[in-house]
Amino acid sequence: MPHQDTLYSLPTSTTIGKVILVGAGPGDPDLLTVKAMRLIQQADVIIYDRLVSDEIIALFPPHSQSIFVGKEAGNHCVPQQQINELLVKHALAGKQVIRLKGGDPFIFGRGGEELEALLPFNIPFEVVPGITAASGCAAYAGIPLTHRDHAQSVQFITGHLKQGQDQIDWLSLARAKHTLVFYMGLNQSNVIRHKLSAYGMSLATPIAIIEHGTTAQQRVLTGELAQIETLAKQAISPALIIIGSVTQLSQQLNWFQQQADSITHSNHSQQLCG
């Protein structure tokens, strides 16, 4: 396991390092891009989030320093300002810094904010996109986000809905032939149900909640919009909420679960034969 670092002051090097913002994808290490994997192996420092899976953490090179700055709803292990300071300090110390984020760093990942923090120090940076949770988890659950018979568009929405600061266009979201994907929305499932139904979406609209998508712990809960709160209480974070008729296709197209069931059945059969 790479060395765990803590917040501390670092000396400024005569040679400025570099910060590389890397998307780790939704969890399955095989979904890392070739470029992401190569840069992780070359890193001096890796600053990573809670949504980076254990399987990907296991790929960190032993020579690198790893710094966990995970955040979850209501519990910020390291405040965003301190994360920004970490990036600056290690880069000014001449290090090649990988800022590793689950999914894609430019989709609800505050990637843009972190790069803006580097600008006053003239620190060079690069961005390596990753597979965002919406496309990765939906694919592994057998849910096509668009489909000619079901949805002609898809929209990604943050589930972090601050009270009194809701700027979401719920009327637009509630229209038909449309797929909605809510990131981090478990704790706001009651708001999602209330708002969508208030603006005309039927409570019978099919939904799916995908927890630990693309990993061996993946579980897909399906139902209707009227049941979203009940299903959300059963789900374990991290989880993604998908709303729309495309979610009905999961029963036929859930290849990942079928594959896992096939392996389990094969192993069971071998044990019985043994």
- Please write the tens of the pLDDT for every residue from 57-104: 999 999 999 999 986 655 557 899 999 999 999 999 999 999 999 999
From residue 1, alpha-carbon distances to 67, 86, 224, 252 in Å are 12, 21, 43, 40
- Please write the tens of the pLDDT for every residue from 168-202: 899 999 988 899 999 999 999 999 999 999 999 99
In the structure encoding, which two tokens stand for residue 105, read together? 């760093």
The answer, yes or no, to whether residue 1 has pLDDT greater than 90, is: no
Catalytic residue set: 49, 71
Q: Residue 125 burial by CB count (10 A; 0-12/13-18/19+): exposed, middle or buried?
A: middle
Q: Indicate the CATH number of 18-131 among 3.40.50.720, 1.10.530.10, 3.90.79.10, 3.40.1010.10.
A: 3.40.1010.10
Residue pair 238/51 in contact by the 8 Å Cβ criterion: yes
Cα separation, 196 vs 6, whole angstroms: 44
The answer, yes or no, to whether residue 50 has pLDDT greater than 60, is: yes
Q: Do the domains spanning 18-131 and 134-161+168-253 agree at the CATH topology level? A: no
Pairing of strands 206-211, 219-224: antiparallel
Q: pTM value?
A: 0.87
Domain boundaries, the chain: 18-131, 134-161+168-253
Per-residue pLDDT, 21: 98
Class of domain 134-161+168-253: alpha beta
Per-residue pLDDT, 8: 45
